[in-house]
Chain A
């Protein structure tokens, strides 16, 4: 490994401080004598549980929808595919509140789909389902982008060989494509889960805020800040810790996902 030139270290250090500094300051602001009382209060527990439950559901939805999306984006040739890809990535750059408004006009009571559902007695707004939809909306691009990148890097050499040996497309998909994608899928899912856990704006705009039903941990923090800043800080640290563990698991070895996928392609090519 060749080291970067020394003068790069200074801006790099500033960057690290910029990212880590606020989190260190947050830790310093915690009222440690009450920390465990604050994070184990009923409202905190309920919010954390709801957050974990909805984020898990969102991660599952992301896999069910995102893996096929990535496959289509990576392996199908179609003139309009770049437009489709740009659309899929939009939630990454949209302000979450815009996402929330957009969801509202689709699934809200008077929304395009929402009003039809309403006539069947299905109410999405203000429900836990709305939270999961908002989380899936913002988290899906993370999974799709991770997986599509991995599929492109891996190439389709193994799949083509399997096909020439007589395997039908479904067999190739289950026995060759998916196993090769496993590491990328794992990091994609974890990223999507982490993003869902942090979702705030779209949930607030679209799902509302009610304890046990729609008030996830980020919403609870936002509310606590009004009346009990110490509780807000304690809960923030809890969310930072959970997020840190998740990110560490996803990236416990640098380039894990990409490397493992790339290896067979590279050896096959050499």
Chain B
């Protein structure tokens, strides 16, 4: 803003970069943001966490942002097609599905196949959203016919239905399960590797602080980022 008025910026000016990131990255990115700010005292990092498709819609409508991290390749492609991303996106993390149940697993769900049991109140993501397409892929590959009582819009909605005890089981990402702590019991299943979700990150083409944006991407893809992501349950691409 000030630059537009003709005043020259000095080194003491505080820069701000805005990072659009998938909701599942909230914990890790907030932590990395603090780390970035302490390494770059003149730069402030602000985040907008939401579903990847919401973020792409906002980006393609011209929302100001410097970095975009998506929870799937498909939404990153949409941002590239929309012209907001011109750099080649880098894949920095992966996520797989897991089964969560209320604490103690009262319905005795021990495998993916158990999800097809009659009377089991199973909640999953709708096929239209990334976690739902992963669910569809995993179950159809394994030949497990599920009849969920609800197909939610987001993985957090699925998690909430399980933590409140409304559902007997739900399919969420391992990172969501890790984030829920002892509010859920996690049942991993080997078939989950059939649908690995890949997270790409890129700087936004018209970023006002392209250098700072690049630095943040480097932090996420570098050893510190890898460590933080691993701790949160993410895999390496």
Contacts and interface: CB of A to CB of B under 8 A. Distances in A.
Contact residue range for chain B?
Answer: 10 to 19
Contacts of A208: 123, 149-152, 161, 166
A109 B106 CA distance: 13
Centre residue among A110, A207, A227 by max chain B CB count within 10 A: A227
A183 B150 CA distance: 40
Contact residue range for chain A?
Answer: 20 to 34
Contacts of A104: 164, 166
Interface string A232-254: 00000000000000000000000
B151 A226 contact: no
B128 A224 contact: yes
A225 B152 CA distance: 13
Interface string A199-231: 000001001111100110000001111111100
Given A104-B166, A110-B165, A223-B126, A210 B151 contact: yes
B153 A222 contact: yes
Interface string B152-171: 11000100010011100000
B53 interface: yes
B211 to A, nearest CB: 34
Given A208-B150, A210-B148, A210-B149, A226 B129 contact: yes
Nearest to B157: A204
B161 A209 contact: no
A108 B151 CA distance: 17
Contacts of A222: 153
Contacts of A207: 150
A51 to B, nearest CB: 17
A223 B164 contact: no
B51 A226 contact: yes
A107 B126 CA distance: 24
A41 to B, nearest CB: 13
A126 interface: yes
Contact of B164 (A108, A210, A225): A108
A209 B126 contact: yes
B121 interface: yes
Interface string B165-208: 11000000000000000000000000000000000000000000
7 contacts: A109-B165, A110-B165, A125-B166, A126-B166, A204-B157, A208-B150, A208-B151
Given A108-B165, A214-B150, 20 more contacts: A108-B166, A109-B166, A126-B121, A126-B149, A126-B150, A126-B166, A204-B153, A204-B157, A207-B150, A208-B161, A210-B150, A210-B151, A223-B126, A223-B153, A226-B128, A226-B129, A226-B153, A227-B128, A228-B128, A229-B57
